[in-house]
A and B are shown apart, each in its own frame.
Chain A
Amino acid sequence: MDQNKTAKRALAQESVEMLRKNIRNYAMYIALAVIFIVFQVLSKVMLGKGLFLTARNITNLINQTGYIAVMAVGMTLVLIICQIDLSVGFGAGFLGACAARLMTMQVPIPLVILLVLALGVLIGLVQGTIIGKIGVPAFVTTLAGEFIFRGLLTLVTEASGTIPITNDAFNALSNGFVPELFTIGKYHGLTLLVGIVAIALIFVMEIRKRRDMMRYSFETISAPLFAFKLAFFAALIGALTVVLAGYKGISWTIIIVVVIVSIYNFILRNTRTGRYIYGMGGNMEAASLSGVNVKRTLIGVFASMGCMTALGGILYASRINSATPTAGMGFELDAIASCYIAGVSTTGGIGSVVNSVVGAFVIMSLTNGLNLIGIGISYQYLIKGIIFICAVALDVRGRGKKAIG
């Protein structure tokens, strides 16, 4: 009896401790939940029907977020190493237009995608070299890039104006879903299967990690809390899967974003390159004297940014089935804001790609929700700006780390 009580108290204590440690991460999820609820209520009040939390809108929201999410992933690395890339806006617009143009020349889709990604990498390499080898600050270099890509975008779209994209395979990247294959009741079968596999995968990985830590006799979280954590993950993914399966299923965008985030997360957390990136962002000189090739790392990070810009451009062009002369305007701001909302340090050295993707989701939920309830574009910018500054201010205060003094 008494023993039971102490065990319970220990568990409560541990839970509180874990919450406290990860409060920063949870804050963003809480914000997301608040946004969801607010828009659901607002849409109900204003439109007479809760339109935000519907399978259709959630699917839509995810597909809308794809291009910003991948760009936020690339941007996270750039910001971690204390640099910035302002050229990704029209960079994405230009690269998307390149894809459209190539398609009008009947180049096969896989080749189009490869070529555009390669061009993105090339652009990143050039900008990175200018920054790293010549020493022009990133702010200036990429600002110049933004001008140049705007010019190039206009050039590419000059002859025809907006270039329509009619290729279904290409357009499916941002609008299409994995095939149904079979159904279970009214649910999309393959989607359910993917959801189950994902949950199983997470279970296996978490359990393996825990077993590994136990083998080293490190302190691990207690069994009930661990089970709770797993159950929480399972519930979250499960719920999302069911929602999606009830509509059209998992979209290709989700798959692309998940693959990209997994790769980047793995690199940042588990490889030497990742360590070098964090180390360089924390103290460039110390990193260099510890044997990090800082120039090469910087150029690599910009090349990866270029690649993500290209992917973002492709996803956006695919999303709107065309390349327009103004595509990409302001994307850089959304990408950077996603990262900062997600807790990437403004002074470098800290950040996570998983969080940045959730940050992108927060930003897009705002856009999506405001659109849904019919708020005009001017007010949208106002509201987004205010929420952005509040979020970062809270974050800075919460961490006790101020930009000045």
Chain B
Amino acid sequence: MSDIILEMRNISKSFPGVKALDGVNFTVKTGEIHCLVGENGAGKSTLMKILSGIHRYGSYEGDIIVGGEVMRFHSIRESESAGISIINQELALIPELSVAENIFFGHEIMKGRLIDWNETMRQAEGYLKQVRLNVPPSTPMRELRVGSQQLVEIAKSLSKHARLMILDEPTSSLNEEDSANLLNLLRELKQQGVTIIMISHRLKEVVQIADTVTVLRDGMSVCSLDAAGAPVTESEIIRYMVGRDMANIYPVRAEKNIGDVLFSVKNWSAYDPKLRREVLHDVNLEVRRGEIVGLAGLMGAGRTELALSIFGNTPGYRITGGELVMDGESVRFDSPREAIDHGIGYATEDRKKNGLILIQDIRFNTTFANLKALMKGRVISENEEVVQANRLKDSINIKAPSVQQTVLNLSGGNQQKVVLAKWIFARPKLMILDEPTRGIDVGAKYEIYSLMNEMVSQGMSIIMISSELLEVIGMSDRIYVMCEGRITGEVSGAQATEQNIMHLATDTEVV
């Protein structure tokens, strides 16, 4: 068996107006965990899509050599039969089917012309055990949390007997605990002889797990760092990624200027008629002018539910008690429009599902929540619109040839920036950011943090929902922790530690 499982030689790929990859060389050793890092739009996903046949042979230049053989993949199926399996940035599971059906979707176990259900269930159980997911194989997919869904994706890859497994940002939507589990699982798979390529923006994880780290920048491979000898450090990776040293991950806020209370939630309870349970119970919180308030908690703690129930209550919860106070006035929003008109903005956590209009361009998305600002009489001034969209594109550094680029064609991180651009353009008094840096590279994170600081220095207030504890601690003036629909505690930013927040998030006593 050869030492090198995969070699990609001199790979180039262009999209209209964008050179996504420019002569990339990428080598993976058999049985290693190889992390691929780089800024948003550096070309990581594109490289992996080429490897897995999503961008088919002929649409790129260069060679793919797997196990010493030159490969020409025309589809995912062909790469799968060569033992390569990809788990995309966006999961590809079918919520209405069971876990077992999802695992074997597309390569069902047959007995004659019929599906062999007994064997399907038996084997599914085996794979689930292997990925340490403790649910019956007949569970409908939609009942699983994201973390568990990710595990099902891995089980699916295993069932295809993948030798080389590609994971594109597998932990970006997981909380710390699920991420840790996933990383452990990857280590185990490595022991079992599976080679793993993982894309991630969470450098802490990368440092923990990688045998080799390859850095891409602007579509070119910058370097491959071998972690076998001396361990690779985060700052080393960052230096290669952004091309310079970054002293701080969190920008320093020049002067804090925290004023009186802008918005408060009082004894707020909500009941979800669809799930038939209370999703929020007696929530109390307040936000002052110029303050960044963190909202920490585990997945499913009710943070997004809280935001949605405030922001026009689109899920249709029954508000069973409590009130909202904005600027000293009791308010109630029956639609997002009313909330926006009262100066609240909410950047959702799932940009594809409900954050962006993917088939439209950057310009359209940027101005969509505040078209009022562009009106000349009853008409939208398109010229003014382009000017404004360009201004925002430059100020938060959205990587695209122009504001006329369709959002669908942007890299994940740049899509996230468009979501932020939209709400910055709406100029709210209170901005609720739900996982604002999900899938965003370190450099861009810094930019977004600076932007948040700038906004609060102008008197805006921010509620930041985040599952990344360090981010919450690094950015917030005050932190509320939620668990199972309740606020379980409040800590000031200065006193917050990962430990005391985790205790509150799991609602256990500090020992």
State the A residues within 8 Å of B (CB): 212-213, 215-216, 218, 270-272, 275, 278-279, 282-283, 285-293, 345, 349-350
Q: How far is the CA of A267 from the CA of B359 in the complex (A)?
A: 20
Indicate if the CB atoms of A292 and B383 lie closer than 8 Å. Answer: no
Does B354 sit at the interface, judged by CB under 8 A?
yes
> Would you call A279 and B337 a contact (CB within 8 A)?
no
B364 within 8 A of A: yes
Q: Is the CB of A290 within 8 A of B422?
A: yes
In the complex, the 8 A-B pairs of residues with the closest C-beta atoms, listed nearest first: A282-B357, A285-B354, A291-B337, A290-B369, A291-B340, A216-B383, A283-B357, A270-B379
Interface residue? B378 (CB, 8 A): yes
Query: How many angstroms between the C-alpha atoms of A287 and B356 in the bound complex?
Result: 8
B360 touching A349 by the CB < 8 A rule? yes
Most A CB within 10 A of own CB, among B339, B340, B359? B359
Least CB distance, A404 to chain B, in whole angstroms: 14
Cβ–Cβ < 8 Å partners of B340 in chain A: 290-291
Pair A350/B359 contact, Cβ less than 8 Å: yes
Cβ-defined partner of A283 (8 Å) among B358, B372, B379: B358
Asked whether A283 and B354 contact (CB < 8 A) given A289-B348, A290-B336, the answer is yes
* Most chain B C-beta atoms within 10 Å of own C-beta, residue among A275, A290, A350: A290
CA distance A288 to B368 in the complex (A): 11
Say whether B353 faces chain A, with CB atoms less than 8 Å apart.
Answer: yes
Instruction: Give Cα distance in the complex from A288 to B386, angstroms.
Output: 23
Q: Which of B339, B358, B368 has the most CB of A within 10 A?
A: B368
B346 within 8 A of A: yes
Contact A275 B348, CB 8 Å, known A288-B314, A289-B311, A290-B336: no
Can you list 27 A-B contacts (CB < 8 A)? A212-B383, A215-B383, A216-B386, A270-B379, A270-B382, A272-B371, A272-B375, A272-B380, A278-B360, A279-B368, A282-B357, A282-B360, A283-B357, A286-B353, A286-B354, A288-B314, A288-B336, A289-B312, A289-B354, A290-B336, A290-B340, A291-B335, A291-B336, A291-B337, A293-B337, A349-B359, A350-B359
Number of A-B contacts (CB under 8 A): 80
B249 within 8 A of A: no
B443 interfacial by beta-carbon distance below 8 Å: no
How long is the Cα–Cα vector from A288 to B340 in the complex, in angstroms? 11
Q: Smallest Cβ distance from A127 to chain B, in angstroms?
A: 23
Q: Kindly list chain B residues whose C-beta atoms are within 8 Å of the C-beta of A216.
A: 383-384, 386-387
Q: Which residues of B contact A287 (CB under 8 A)?
A: 357, 368
Distance of A350 Cα from B360 Cα, bound (Å) = 9
- Is B355 on the interface with A (CB-CB < 8 A)? yes
State the CA gap A216–B403 with chains docked (Å).
15
Given A218-B386, A285-B353, A275 and B364 touching (CB < 8 A)? yes
- Not counting A275-B380, A293-B335, a sample of 10 additional A-B residue pairs whose C-beta atoms are within 8 angstroms of each other reads A216-B387, A272-B372, A282-B359, A283-B358, A285-B354, A287-B368, A289-B311, A291-B341, A292-B337, A349-B360
Give A292 to B336 CA distance when docked, in angstroms. 8
Instruction: Judge whether B383 and A218 touch: CB under 8 Å.
Output: yes
Interface string of B11-31 (1 = CB under 8 A from A): 000000000000000000000
Asked if A349 and B371 sit within 8 Å, CB to CB, the answer is no
- In the complex, which residue of chain B has the Cβ closest to the Cβ of A350? B359
Residues of A within 8 A of B387 (CB): 216
Verify A290–B359 contact, CB threshold 8 A: no
A286 engages B355 (CB within 8 Å): yes
| Whole-angstrom CA separation of A286 from B371 in the bound complex | 15
Q: Determine the chain A residues whose CB is within 8 A of the CB of B335 once the complex forms.
A: 291, 293
Give min CB distance, B344 to chain A, whole Å. 10
Tell me the residues in window 195-248 of chain B with beta carbons closer than 8 Å to chain A beta carbons.
Answer: none
The chain A residue with its CB closest to the CB of B341 is A291
Cβ–Cβ contact A279 & B357, under 8 A: yes
Q: A212, A215, A216 — which one has the most chain B CB atoms within 10 A of its CB?
A: A216
Residue of B nearest to A216 (CB): B383
User: A271-B378, A285-B354, A291-B369 are contacts. A279–B383 as well, Cβ < 8 Å?
Assistant: no
Asked if B360 contacts A279 (CB within 8 A), the reply is: yes
A275 to B336, CA, bound (A): 17
Q: Chain B contacts of A275 at CB under 8 A?
A: 364, 368, 371, 380
> Quick one: closest A residue to B337, CB to CB?
A291
Q: How far is the CB of A89 from chain B (nearest CB, A)?
A: 30
Report chain A residues within 8 Å CB of B337. 291-293
Give Cα A176 to B372, complex, Å. Answer: 43
- Would you call B379 and A271 a contact (CB within 8 A)? yes
Q: Kindly provide the distance from the CB of A24 to the nearest chain B CB, expressed in whole angstroms.
A: 14
User: Across the interface, which residues of B come within 8 angstroms of A272, CB to CB?
Assistant: 371-372, 375, 380
Name B342-392 residues within 8 Å CB distance of A.
Answer: 346, 348, 353-360, 364, 368-369, 371-372, 375, 378-380, 382-384, 386-387
What residues on A are CB-neighbors of B356 within 8 Å? 283, 286
Chain B residues whose CB sits within 8 angstroms of the CB of A282 once the complex forms: 357-360
A390 to chain B, nearest CB (A): 24
- Distance, CA A212 to CA B382, complexed state (A): 10
Inter-chain CA distance A285–B314, complex, in Å, is 9
Which residue from B346, B371, B382 sits with its C-beta under 8 Å from A289?
B346
Q: Is the CB of A271 within 8 A of B380?
A: yes
For A270, the chain B residues whose CB sits under 8 A away are 379-380, 382
Instruction: Return A218 CB to nearest CB of chain B, in Å.
Output: 7
Given contacts A270-B380, A271-B380, A293-B337, whether A279 and B353 have CB atoms under 8 Å apart is: no
- A289 and B312 CA atoms in complex are apart in Å by 8
A350 to B371, CA, bound (A): 19
Mark B328-339 against chain A: 1 for CB-CB distance below 8 A, else 0. 000000011101
Bound together, the chains give a CA A129 to CA B467 distance in angstroms of 40
Min CB gap B354→A, angstroms: 4
Which B residues from 279 to 317 make CB contacts under 8 A with A? 311-312, 314
Instruction: State the Cβ distance, A273 to closest chain B Cβ, in Å.
Output: 10
| Residues in B neighbouring A293, C-beta threshold 8 A | 335, 337
Min CB–CB distance B484 → chain A (angstroms): 25
Complex alpha-carbon distance, A46 and B157, angstroms = 64
When distances are taken between beta carbons in the complex, the residues of chain B under 8 Å from A349 are: 357, 359-360
A215–B368 Cα gap in the complex (Å)? 24
Among residues of B, the one whose C-beta sits closest to the C-beta of A274 is B380
| Assembled-state Cα–Cα distance A350/B359 (Å) | 8
Q: A285 to chain B: which residues have CB within 8 Å?
A: 314, 353-354
CB-defined contacts of B379 to chain A, threshold 8 Å = 270-271
Q: Which residues of B contact A290 (CB under 8 A)?
A: 336, 340, 368-369, 422
Instruction: For B371, list chain A residues within 8 Å (CB).
Output: 272, 275
User: Contact between A289 and B378 (Cβ–Cβ < 8 Å)?
Assistant: no
User: Chain A residue with minimal CB distance to B353?
Assistant: A285
Shortest Cβ gap from B194 to chain A (Å): 28
Q: Measured between alpha carbons, how far is A212 from B379 in the docked complex, in Å?
A: 14
Residue among A218, A283, A288, A292 with most chain B CB within 10 A: A283
A212, B339: Cα distance in complex, Å: 35
Q: Is the Cβ of B380 less than 8 Å from the Cβ of A286?
A: no
CA distance A286 to B418 in the complex (A): 13
A186 vs chain B, min Cβ distance (A)? 43
Chain B residues with CB under 8 A of A345: 359
* A46 smallest CB distance to B (angstroms): 45
Minimum CB–CB distance for A207 against chain B, Å: 15
**Which A residues are in CB contact (< 8 Å) with B359?**
282, 345, 349-350
Interfacial residues of chain B within 383-422, with CB under 8 A of chain A in the complex = 383-384, 386-387, 422
Closest B-chain residue to A287, C-beta based?
Answer: B357
Closest to B355 in A: A286
Chain B residue at minimal CB-CB distance from A215: B383
Question: Could you tell me the distance in whole angstroms from the C-beta of B421 to the nearest C-beta in chain A?
Answer: 12
Closest to B354 in A: A285
**Residues of A contacting B368 in the complex (Cβ-Cβ under 8 angstroms):** 275, 279, 287, 290
Bound together, the chains give a CA A265 to CA B245 distance in angstroms of: 52
Give the residues in chain B near A350, CB-CB below 8 Å: 359
A213 contacts B383, CB within 8 Å?
Answer: yes
Contact B357 A286 (CB under 8 A): yes
Give A167 to B73 CA distance when docked, in angstroms: 70
